[in-house]
A and B are shown apart, each in its own frame.
Chain A
Amino acid sequence: MARAVTPQRKALNTAIAAIVGALIFFPIFWTVLTSFKTEAQAIADPPVWFAFDWTLENYTAVNQRSDYLLHFWNSVVISVGSTLLGLVIAVPAAWAMAFVPGRRTKDILMWMLSTKMLPSVGVLVPIYLLFRQLGLLDTRTGLVIVLTLINLPIIIWMLYTYFREIPGEILEAARMDGANLREEVVHVLLPMAVPGMASTVLLNIILAWNEAFWTLNLTAAKAAPLTAFIASYSSPEGLFYAKLSAASTMAIAPILIMGWFSQKQLVRGLTFGAVK
């Protein structure tokens, strides 16, 4: 059992953690704060902390300059779509590997994971040309396909580790009770795996939302998600700090909020199911 900790010690720990946490979080905080300033105040030296004229003009300006909602919607469709599609493909595979392990199961799992190590840039040219041929360049469908494939190994791995924690006897009991394979998965396995699936889904939405190689290289305007929308602020608009901050805030807010509301699943998911 843990011993009593003196309040002084606890206060010291809390203070250090608060300072470190604030430092790490500071860039995000500063970005959000700056998004409410005027351009002049945004670059003021010494920096203005809170005593400035709070304004929403940057958000209006960003929306006028480019269609935020379109890019937001693209990000949603691409990240949620690729995650759900990946889940549909991965659940059967993870079931098979977790509950009917064979001699080669581990090799297959390792091989799947190793496809993740294939550098995207190595296949950029053919994928780009294939997509051009198939008319998939700058389409949401194209990006959903690519992101499903690049995240599939991670989804399978995570589900596999979660499924493996479920005792096989329970599935055997379902089989004895007359459940067929589909019923066994739907009525017994999936309900038991809900926390693990939630973690998997959340993590993959985040990975897909933030993916910035394929989304930058395979989109132009129409299907560009928020990653690409932000990249267009690279220069020279980037020098308009307040507007850059507003656009950045809008790009990261959905995920930040989602992450904070689902902290528990996410923490579990962030460890990729690899550490308990």
Chain B
Amino acid sequence: MSRDKTMTAEEAVGRLESGMTLGIGGWGSRRKPMALVRALLRSDLTDLTVVSYGGPDVGLLAAAGKIRKLVAAFATLDSIPLEPHFGAARQRAAFEMVELDEAMFMWGLTAAAHRLPFMPIRAGLASDVMTVNPRLRTVRSPYEDGEELVAVPALRLDAALVHLNRADVHGNGQYLGPDPYFDDLFCQAADQAYLSCERIVDTAELLKAQGPQSLLVKRAFVNGVVETPNGAHFTSCAPDYDRDETFQRAYTQAARDPEAWRAFTEQFLSGDEAAYQAAVAAFHEEEA
């Protein structure tokens, strides 16, 4: 029997170091490993390079001043197009930015997962992505076509953080929603990966929910498994729950004003994960 890799969010974050390059799974405000991000917020870790199809993970880490460099094609809350903390941080040049196209980002992760130095891609040519990333190079096809393409460098990660619907204690991760996003790629591109999930189940239980193609992440690429019910909150985690739009609106409103943000932080982010979930429940009781 393979190892039991269960741990707490604190233990997972305890394996990380300041200055690391962290990949964060999900997409926008969808299935983000928010409980792990909240554990990061409570830690002393700083000076991070964050690689993400950005959502509130980027916003919260930026607001806490933990990002030294961001690699992203966007940061959005989906139903609210502009991530407020990301926008504010960019407007005060709070971190270095590597702005890539969405597909360049995918091929950068793929190159890292395949242990290749780069992947060729047409995207990026002629756009200002080339201008704002002067280190990007092109590569010429060695075949008759002689095409000149962008060589997207591998986005190798020190660690990846992802959130799935189910997992077993060994790190086999299962998604039950309509989109895997890129969570398996993040894990394969990383030296270590921490997988949080809504519920840990017996390995034999996994296929009772869905077919084998739902088994997205393989245990060989996972170093720690964390059970965090509602752990993607306030992002969506279909089919377990939808995005908490009411809460997301409150987050966005608070993010626009320093005083309101201090109050929001005090109310929701000053305690541990259990305190967060209790504060969210209380918030909804007041709203109702």
Do A and B form a real pair?
A: no
Residues in chain B within 8 A of chain A (CB atoms): none
State the A residues within 8 Å of B (CB): none
